[in-house]
Amino acid sequence: MESPRAEVSVPVRIWGLDANGKAFNQAAIARDLTETTAVLGGITAPLNPDDIIGIQVGPQKSRFRVHSINGGDGPYEAMVESLEPDRCIWKVQMLAALGPGYSTTNQGERRRTIRYPCNGGADFKRLDEDFTQWGRVTDLSEFGCYVETLSPFQPGEELDVTLTFGNHVFRARSVACTAHQHVGMGLRFKMLTSEDLEVLREVLQPLAAKFVGDPAITAQVLGHIQRILSCVRELDEIVRTSPQKIAPGLPEHIGRLLMASQAVLDNQRRAIQPKSSV
């Protein structure tokens, strides 16, 4: 299913290396938004097709590939495509432009947990090396993080990572999952001690509290619940219509699970509805 297009202009910040190999960081305007593409206007840095750049909207950041660019001697206009299709950094703006009928069509949103924007540091190195590099951590979950670095490691490489958030420090044996040259890399936590996991959860707690009620995160949570409910309904239909012998008590168990899932979904929807003033 094709993503809807929002004809809205959104101020953004973009950065990366230009066609001459020079670092740039500037304001721009994104328009003609879909969940994974946009047209950027007002670009002063010369770019080439297939260049990788970072784009930020508020606290949300993601990596994009330049699909095409035009504008002669500048300012330039570029069509860009997301390298992280599981993230839509302008979902709130699309929701405001398209109205309540808009819902994400992106299958990549089905990740195991929500990633929270953050500002931390990471010292990382290969397991068999002593040389350590540093990068900035821009989002974090219980299962991984994204580190901005000009020299990311290749997907599949294992790293020893020390993450620092203020006074909270923890280590995680990690695996590089994605790599975008001159931009950063996504890491999956492979091994943490119980003490390090406890510190990670302490870091996540205020991040989660800060974003309670965020429209993008709320939509993601409701999407997870809705998919669970759909799976339970499918299972209920199979049990009720299957001619094969089923375990005693299974239909009743599925019925209770169906009711509980629907109740959770209804409660979440009521919780985000605007409260009328008295």
| Mean pLDDT over each residue of the chain, to the nearest integer | 78
Average pLDDT over residues 181-197: 85
My answer on whether 104 and 121 are in the same domain is no
What proportion of the chain, given as a percentage, has pLDDT over 70? 68
- Does residue 75 belong to any structural domain of this protein? yes
What are the pLDDT digits (tens) for 22-45? 999 999 999 888 888 999 999 999
Which range (59-73, 110-124, 190-204, 255-269) has the least confidence?
255-269
Global pTM value = 0.48
Tell me how far apart the alpha carbons of residues 67 and 64 are, in angstroms, rounded to a whole number.
Answer: 9
Higher pLDDT, 38 or 246: 38
Between residues 187 and 256, the one the model is more confident about:
187
148 assigned to some structural domain: yes
Same domain, 206 and 120: yes
Flag the least confident range among 146-155, 189-198, 217-226.
217-226
Q: Work out how many domains the chain is built from and give that number.
A: 3
The pLDDT value recorded for residue 217 is: 53
96 with 130, same domain: the answer is no
Largest distance between two CA atoms of the chain: 74
Could you tell me the CATH number of the domain that includes residue 177? 2.40.10.220
Report the distance separating Cα 46 and Cα 41, nearest Å.
12
In a shared domain, residues 201 and 227:
no
Tell me the pLDDT tens digit for each residue of 172-181.
999 998 887 7
Of 87, 108, 129, the residue at which a domain comes to its end is 108
Residue 278 lies in a domain: no
pLDDT tens figures, 100-126: 555 554 444 444 456 778 899 999 999
Mean pLDDT of 4-15: 87
- Concatenating the DSSP letter of every residue in 206-261 gives HHHHHTTT-HHHHHHHHHHHHHHHHHHHHHHHHHHH--S---TTHHHHHHHHHHHH
pLDDT band at residue 213 under the 50/70/90 scheme: low
| Residues 125 and 202 reside in one and the same domain | yes
Residue 193 has a pLDDT of 86
How high is the pLDDT of residue 165? 95
Query: Among candidates 194, 129, 137, 128, which has minimal Cα distance to 162?
Result: 137
Question: What does the pLDDT read at residue 211?
Answer: 59
